[in-house]
Amino acid sequence: EVQLVESGGGLVQPGGSLRLSCAASGFTFSSFVINWVRQAPGKGLEWLSSISSSGISIYYADSVKGRFTISRDNAKNSVYLQMNSLRGEDTAVYFCAREGYDSLTAYNFPGLDYWGQGTLVAVSS
C-alpha cells in the first residue's frame, strides 16, 4: 500500500525556519517525482515545489522561491522541505504528493495520485 506521511509541522515565529519531512512507503520511491502542496485555512490548493526521482531537477513556485528548499534522500525514502524566512501567509497545511503512475501502461503523468495526510504549519508571534 502506497503511503506518504508528513511530519515536522508546528508553530513558528515570523522569520523563523522549519523543516518538513515526507516519509514514503509501498512503492519504488527512487523512481518517482515528489511534490509539496499547501492549503491555507479555508483556501485552495497551492503547488509549491517538485523534485525529480534523482533529485537533479527541482522546481519552485514563485511564492516560495529563494525561501524554501526541497531535497530528497532515496536511501531513506524521504523528501524534505526546508522553509526559511517564514511569514504569516505561509500558515497552511502542507501535503506531500507523488506524481501519478498508471501501472497498466507503465506511464508516469504530471498529476498527483497519492497524498499524505498533511502537516500544519502555523506562523505567528
Q: What residue ranges bind other proteins (CB under 8 A)?
A: 35, 37, 44-47, 50, 57, 59-62, 95, 97, 100, 102, 104, 109-113, 115-118
Q: Which is nearer to other proteins, 27 or 59 (CB)?
A: 59
Q: Cα dist. 6→36, 77, 116, 120 in Å?
A: 10, 12, 6, 10
Smallest separation, CB 80 to other proteins (Å): 19
Contact between 22 and 4 under an 8 Å Cβ cutoff? The reply is yes
- The amino acid at residue 34 is I
Q: Which is nearer to other proteins, 53 or 75 (CB)?
A: 53
The overall longest dimension of the chain from CA atoms, in Å, is 50
Cell of residue 18, nine digits: 522549519
Q: Which is nearer to other proteins, 63 or 82 (CB)?
A: 63
Smallest separation, CB 61 to other proteins (Å): 7
Smallest separation, CB 14 to other proteins (Å): 25
